Amino acid sequence: MTATRIDGKEFSARVRADVATHVARLKADHGITPGLAVVLVGEDPASQVYVRSKGKQTVEAGMQSFEHKLPVETAQSDLLNLVARLNADPAVHGILVQLPLPDHMDEAAVINAIDPAKDVDGFHISNVGRLATGQSAMVPCTPLGCLMLLRDTFGSLSGKTAVVIGRSNIVGKPMAQLLLRDSCTVTIAHSRTADIAEVVRRADIVVAAVGRPQMVPGDWIKPGAVVIDVGINRIDAPELGEGKTRLVGDVDFDSVAQVAGAVTPVPGGVGPMTIACLLANTLTACCRAANLPEPEGLTA
Ligand code: GUN
């Protein structure tokens, strides 16, 4: 059996086009332009790339982008003052503080200072609690992107057996909550799970989010299962030439594709969905702030 390749690049382009359509309607009918503020502290090269990409795609969707770049030595109190200003700014509907923050800052204190209604990352403790208790929440972007791909693949997820590999606050735990909300039977596996191969082999849905290159081989996968690979790992690739590297996921794509029903590639799977869902969350936050109906198909 050869798995279907789930095309996240194509799907995310559809999500972004859908967001842009809603944004154009909001402007025309209500005179409102959704705005996203992104805050970057320091000069981490990977974070700089993400932030640039977020800004560009925000503008392409017709929204306002506010970028705040602060030096690495910024005092936490100054960052908190900026967050307070953004909380109070009616043109800002979404606030994202790029992580990781420098070591002298308390990430939880900064994230929990963001107005939960503007917390488009879904990291604020009140959004975490609201997701866990089934209340309307802002949902973390990467798990939301995985959920959209799974709903598109299966239609209803009700009654499916799902295994999430990885227990991070950003992906593993919220992913498990979302699958539970869609009535899956959910297991979270992690580095201490006994006989992980046997646990994963029960799953109709596997979401791998551990950050270990090609950790999940094909013989862990139930035939026909749908496999979502969240990992983005850079590995040496001497076969491409001396000193070359390439990106791989947490899943061994070639062996998994022999067994699975469908699988996301890396790159081009989950990755492009994250920023698309950030735009969707910004639109959702804007609609909620204006007491307008939420955009259909773009929320959890
Ligand atoms: N750093 C890496 N991924 C993310 C993310 O999804 N949100 C934020 N705020 N920082 C990140």
CATH number at residue 153: 3.40.50.720
Indicate which residue of 57, 118, 119, 121 is catalytic.
121
Domain closes at, from 65, 83, 116:
116
Which of 76, 99, 116 terminates a domain? The answer is: 116
Residues 149 and 206 in one domain: yes
- Tell me how many domains the chain contains: 2
- Domain co-membership, 65 together with 150: no
Instruction: Work out which ligand 1 atom sits closest to the CA atom of 142.
Output: 6
Q: How far is the CA of 281 from the centre of ligand 1 (A)?
A: 14
User: Omega of the bond prior to 265 within 30 degrees of 0, cis?
Assistant: no
Together in a domain, 164 and 261: yes
Cβ neighbours of residue 6 under 8 Å, at least 6 residues apart? 149, 153, 226, 228, 262, 263, 264, 265, 269
Assigned domain for 100 exists: yes
Answer yes or no: is 130 within a domain: no
Residues 146 and 266 reside in one and the same domain: yes
Domain containing 38 equals 30-116
Ligand 1 neighbour 275 (Cβ under 6 A): no
Same-domain status, 103 and 167:
no
Here the CATH number for the domain that contains residue 42 is: 3.40.50.10860
Q: How remote is the CA of residue 99 from the centroid of ligand 1, in Å? A: 5
Same domain, 168 and 205: yes
Number of H helices, E strands in the chain: 10, 11
What per-residue confidence (pLDDT) applies to 224?
A: 98
Task: Give catalytic status of residue 98 as yes or no.
Answer: yes
pLDDT at 1: 60
Same domain, 246 and 186: yes
**Do residues 175 and 143 make contact, with C-beta atoms less than 8 angstroms apart?**
yes
Domain match, 111 and 146 both: no
Judge if 111 and 148 occupy the same domain: no
The verdict on 162 and 240 lying in the same domain is yes
**170 shares a domain with 62:** no
Residue 119 Cβ contacting ligand 1 at under 6 Å: no
The whole-number mean pLDDT for each consecutive block of 10 residues of the chain, a chain of 300 residues, reads: 93 98 98 98 95 97 98 98 98 97 98 98 98 97 98 98 98 98 98 98 98 98 98 96 97 98 98 98 98 95
pLDDT at 30: 98
In a domain, 284, yes or no: no
Domain co-membership, 180 together with 65? no
